[in-house]
Structure 1
């Protein structure tokens, strides 16, 4: 597998899909790897050269037990990959924590990000809307089966789960070391991009499910109002993994936006 070297020499694994002229970087959620996107990859690989990565601490990337985990740091790791493949300009689609990482990419690299899509994400705790304490408690249980059940119900509707028995690629990289899992959680919780959001110049689409309580839907208009000219689209009935359960709506929506930009 191809590897890029981050600034601290951590190896960052990536994969390339498709043969499009434009490069599209897909960024996964917290404590997840490149397989987060497996279900919908074909939707984008027809039009783009799609790049998926394993964050440090996940998949086949390096897993340093250091204070090198942050959403801005993940963005710098992604830039190391984009530099390695010679992508001068690129489009970015990030969901959940990947949307937080994508915010830094766009803010820190205004001359290189062509178009930005932020899915089911937020500006961070300082200015965003946090999930309820009940959800936090449910995800903090010692019973791993109970945590898995709670996470699946936050990601997907009961109707979808009845007809889709898995495997599920959105509920975490099970091979992550415990220290990397903790560092991912801290990195996502510490995210705060509020001050730089008005500086984002790339055309931006904010997408969210109306029934997302894992990352509350109220964060979507906050982002859209804060980023100049951003467009907001809410997918009725969708929970956190809207891009998978509502693929038939979400993928065309995002593609239309991406391809509609020069």
Structure 2
């Protein structure tokens, strides 16, 4: 379905009920809002893995403005302040109070924007394979360690000069290095990808290079779960260490994953999903 939010039409899918029968009463479940990576990708990468959590939470999948199936094609609105406010607007439109927000990669940027701009609105926050501040030389060095000079060159070419050509080469050479174990080859085919949004946002000369949530993370007071892979080249684990250190007013649970790349769940699904489940179940 589509929901009108801040002048955009966001594609939303909802899995599971918010109220369940519990003997003589109806028991409410928390709502888990999932923010996908990208930018320009869609929510399909969460399916079917996150469906297993529908017994303990109502799950809201959403494509960010300008991404996937959502409509919001004015580049002037492709910015983290707007994407963060869209999460608040979506929750308001759907009547969601105190959601648990999960952000992975770029979705983690959006989650930090939402949580720092609207810190009283969420109950818990999960940040996976993301960054409060991006350091591109660290990324280039990580790709070189995993893929040699060719991977570094492809990474530098795209991130320092985002274009359709450099992005195609980056997908060919660098994307296979994101994970330690091969993923489902059909998953990439299922995704709707808007390369223009990524080219607009990515790189040190665009908003990705300017963003810095480190000081603002102190505004967040809810519990936060941080998940990161030791072998992640695009959001190296040092980025997550910085996030954990910056959350000075939150109860932070920082979980490292050995021999694990970007997104964590693709390489270590059982441990990652168990941690997420336990974190959700702790909601009072």
Q: TM-score range by the shorter chain?
A: 0.7 to 0.9
Contact 1:65 1:180 in 2 (8 A): no
- Structure 2 runs not aligned, ≥5 long: 19-28, 142-151
1:150 corresponds to: 173
- Note closer, same or farther for the CA distance 1:191–1:120 as it changes in structure 2 (3 Å cut): same
The 3-state SS of whatever aligns with 1:64 is coil
2:24 corresponds to: none
Contact 1:28 1:98 in 2 (8 A): yes
Report deviation, 1:151. 3.8
- Structure 1 runs not aligned, ≥5 long: none
Matched, 1:239 2:261: yes
1:33 corresponds to: 42
Contact 2:155 2:174 in 1 (8 A): no
Query: Aligned partners of 2:211, 2:271: CA distance in 1, in Å?
Result: 29
TM-score scaled by length of structure 2: 0.80
TM-score scaled by length of structure 1: 0.86
- Note closer, same or farther for the CA distance 1:165–1:81 as it changes in structure 2 (3 Å cut): closer
Within 5 Å, give how 1:96-245 maps onto structure 2: 96-125=105-134, 130-132=138-140, 134=152, 136-137=155-156, 139=158, 142=165, 146-157=169-180, 160-161=181-182, 164-169=183-188, 173-174=192-193, 176=194, 178-185=195-202, 186-228=206-248, 229-245=251-267
Contact 2:179 2:232 in 1 (8 A): no
Higher Cα radius of gyration: 2
Report deviation, 1:183. 2.4
In the alignment, which of 67, 75, 99 is matched to residue 90 of structure 1?
99
The number of equivalent residue pairs is: 253
